[in-house]
Amino acid sequence: MRHTLEDAAREPTTTAARSDTGMSGSPAIGALKRLFNPMTSAGHAFELFTLFLIVLSAVSVGLETLPDLPAWTTRAFLAEETIIVGVFTVEYVLRIAAAERKLAYILSFYGLIDAISVLPYYVTGLDMRAMRAFRLLRMLRVLKFARYSAASDRLVRAFRDIRAELAVFLTTTGIIIYLCAIAIFHFEHAAQPNKFRSVFDGMWWAATTLTTVNFGDVVPITVGGKIFTALVLLCGVGIVAVPTGLVAAALTKLRSQNEDARLGR
């Protein structure tokens, strides 16, 4: 009888262990999943370590551009980059190994960011001029911050929720830009043939005017062009406001859902 009770007491732990092993596939995969889970102590420590490397890498990109640096700094930056890339490469490979759907992870947003964070190092191993050109791509490593931020996760989910509305809005905006380019071309081509050589030159003006940026490099000089520009600027206020409102509404909805889930409503 005592053995039966002891066996029954041990059964939940044994069942949980079997369940964890079954879900993970193997103890090693289970350990990797715990490492990549920020809710565990190991996962939290790994998260902080990764964030430190991201910040260190981003700062180094800027420090490398300082003039008159000692010769030893070049070797130091190269060693630091090699170590950081090595850590991120191992992390990327381990994440693929721990993923239940490996191809889905590789093609996912975070999978692509993890790959981009290390690819420039391997691509630029032969040409130092290319290495300078790829310095900007190295800065994409800071996008790995998104993996460790709940707010960025909500932002991604918000864009996913409104992707249909955004697609319609972007398509409509593209059509409006093209129509405005045609109109401004007919207003200004005769007066400024060098600046409005074609409708496609007008598209640059239309894009900067509709977004209320207008760098001032191409401006209308005819009466009709100026009146049309004023109308386009008024429309531009709505062009900027619509996507902002969509994203804000989606974020508010997600925040409300998270708050309800936390309170158990």
- Rounded to whole angstroms, how far apart are CA atoms 108 and 115? 11
Whether the CB-CB separation of 99 and 92 falls below 8 Å is answered with: no
Q: How far apart are the first and last CA of the chain?
A: 44
Whether the CB-CB separation of 166 and 140 falls below 8 Å is answered with: no
Q: What is the pLDDT of residues 44-85, one digit of tens each?
A: 888 888 888 888 887 887 788 788 889 899 899 889 888 988
**One-character DSSP codes across 86-130:** HHHHHHHHHHHHH-SSHHHHHTSHHHHHHHHTTHHHHHTSS-HHH
What are the DSSP E strand ranges found in the chain? none
Which of 11-20, 109-118, 119-128 shows the lowest mean pLDDT across its residues?
A: 11-20
Whether the CB-CB separation of 44 and 110 falls below 8 Å is answered with: no
Share of the chain above pLDDT 90, in %: 3
Distance of CA 78 to the CA centre of its chain: 26
pLDDT at 7 over 70: no
Cβ burial of 212 (10 Å; 0-12, 13-18, 19+) is: middle
Q: pTM of whole model > 0.85?
A: no
pLDDT of residue 138: 52
